[in-house]
Copies of this chain bind each other. A is one copy, B any other.
Amino acid sequence: MQRFINNPDEVVEDTVKGFVKAHADIVRLGSNPRVIAARHAPVSGKVGVITGGGSGHEPAFIGYTGRNMLDAVAVGELFSSPTAKSFLDAAREANGGRGVVCLYGNYAGDNMNVKMATKLAEKEGITIATVVANDDVCSAGPDEREKRRGVAGEIFMWKCAGAKAGEGASLEEVQAIAQRAIDNCRSIGVGLGPCTLPAVGHPNFSIEPGTMEVGIGHHGEPGVRVEPLKSASEVARDMTKIVLGDHNLTAGTEVAVIVSGLGATPLNELYILHDTIESEITGRGLKISKTYIGNYFTSLEMVGATLTVMALDEELKRLLDVDVHCPAMP
């Protein structure tokens, strides 16, 4: 492993330490060292917005902590859910007295631990409302959307909910906009190379040279097919086709787009993909209002990229335009 790490069992701890040092103007370590909180949190009278998830997806989840985004984040081990205690402590850090929304991805461990945290929070008078992200179109069929995993669409969900909460909206309103945001998102991943959990020391899945895995998940979950690696244009066309095929948007719809690297794919290749993605999207009569290209939601040093398309309405568009102040977003 050609990696910059110390003790493989302390990757998360070391990451969090460096993160807090780098962004001390925006974030702070919670009283639980597996919680990152915004410096400004909690804000009295504001609905708290939290998330949590496994580490190794940086800048997700911690990098989205900040004003008009997340108030606190529960931090899990690499590719593992945070504990119920960490979700609870994140809610405590974010609680301004009007309840907390927990906006997280659809993974078994997260579901279980958020549910437990919600019960524990209730006992101390903190209401947690939840929204579960399921934007990964290849992780289950369109008739089983509740089984789909959450991926980079979560960023849009956090952004819209964070902005809405910042405007003073109620718990129900913030939950509703987060739900609408993620309902309007569809994502897909394509993997060209695996990643390695440092404590394991070898990849827990393989992608043969000359092939690619279409629909791969954020932890190497199998996609819908393995096929010979195609040109960037063809890959981008396939990604767009799958995402928009599931989305079923009418011409004239405005959309926001994220093309994210999975960790080891250089930025220039994301732009190469986007050249075709943009043509494919606009060629269907859709209008791209907002574009994010970069490493927004990664999987350690996986080689590959994800595409997220979010359909906008007037309110989602307005909320997406609200300025944020967090480490991961321009």
Interface residues of A (CB under 8 A from B): 2-6, 11, 14-19, 21-23, 55-56, 58-59, 63, 192-193, 207, 209, 212, 229, 231-233, 235-236, 259, 263-275, 278, 291, 293-295, 298, 300-301, 303, 305, 327, 329-330
Give, as a whole number of angstroms, the nearest-CB distance from A68 to chain B: 14
Q: Is the CB of B293 within 8 A of A295?
A: no
Give, as a whole number of angstroms, the nearest-CB distance from A13 to chain B: 9
Number of copies: 2
Task: Specify which chain B residues have a CB less than 8 angstroms from the CB of A264 in the assembled complex.
Answer: 263-266, 301, 303
Q: Is the CB of A192 within 8 A of B330?
A: no
Task: Specify which chain B residues have a CB less than 8 angstroms from the CB of A229 in the assembled complex.
Answer: 2
Extra contacts, 6 of them, besides A4-B236, A58-B267 (Cβ < 8 A), are: A18-B270, A18-B271, A18-B275, A22-B274, A266-B300, A267-B298
Q: Give 9 closest A-B pairs by Cβ, nearest first.
A: A18-B271, A18-B275, A264-B264, A2-B192, A18-B274, A4-B269, A58-B267, A4-B232, A263-B266
Of the listed residues A22, A274, A305, the one surrounded by the most CB atoms of chain B closer than 10 A to its CB is A22
23 A–B contacts, CB within 8 A, in A order: A2-B193, A2-B207, A2-B209, A4-B269, A4-B272, A4-B273, A5-B231, A5-B232, A5-B272, A6-B231, A15-B272, A16-B271, A18-B272, A18-B274, A18-B278, A21-B291, A22-B274, A22-B293, A23-B291, A263-B264, A264-B265, A266-B298, A266-B300
Task: Specify which chain B residues have a CB less than 8 angstroms from the CB of A301 in the assembled complex.
Answer: 264-266, 303
A208 to B35 CA separation, bound complex (whole angstroms): 38
Task: Specify which chain B residues have a CB less than 8 angstroms from the CB of A293 in the assembled complex.
Answer: 18, 22, 327
Of B4, B272, B303, which is within 8 A of A192 by CB? B4
Q: Is the CB of A58 within 8 A of B5?
A: no
Task: Specify which chain B residues have a CB less than 8 angstroms from the CB of A263 in the assembled complex.
Answer: 264, 266-267
Q: Is the CB of B55 within 8 A of A17?
A: no
A16 to B, closest residue via Cβ: B271
A272 to B, closest residue via Cβ: B14
Task: Specify which chain B residues have a CB less than 8 angstroms from the CB of A305 in the assembled complex.
Answer: 4
Give, as a whole number of angstroms, the nearest-CB distance from A230 to chain B: 9
A232 to B19 CA separation, bound complex (whole angstroms): 15
A6 to B236 CA separation, bound complex (whole angstroms): 11
Give, as a whole number of angstroms, the nearest-CB distance from A107 to chain B: 19
Give, as a whole number of angstroms, the nearest-CB distance from A325 to chain B: 9
Q: Is the CB of B268 within 8 A of A300?
A: yes
Q: Is the CB of A11 within 8 A of B267?
A: no
Q: Is the CB of A271 within 8 A of B19?
A: yes
Give, as a whole number of angstroms, the nearest-CB distance from A113 to chain B: 21
Of B15, B231, B266, which is within 8 A of A268 by CB? B15
A211 to B, closest residue via Cβ: B2
Task: Specify which chain B residues have a CB less than 8 angstroms from the CB of A56 in the assembled complex.
Answer: 266, 268
A231 to B, closest residue via Cβ: B6
Q: Is the CB of A2 within 8 A of B303?
A: yes
A329 to B294 CA separation, bound complex (whole angstroms): 12
A12 to B, closest residue via Cβ: B268
Task: Specify which chain B residues have a CB less than 8 angstroms from the CB of A15 in the assembled complex.
Answer: 268, 271-272
A301 to B, closest residue via Cβ: B266
Task: Specify which chain B residues have a CB less than 8 angstroms from the CB of A275 in the assembled complex.
Answer: 14, 17-18, 21
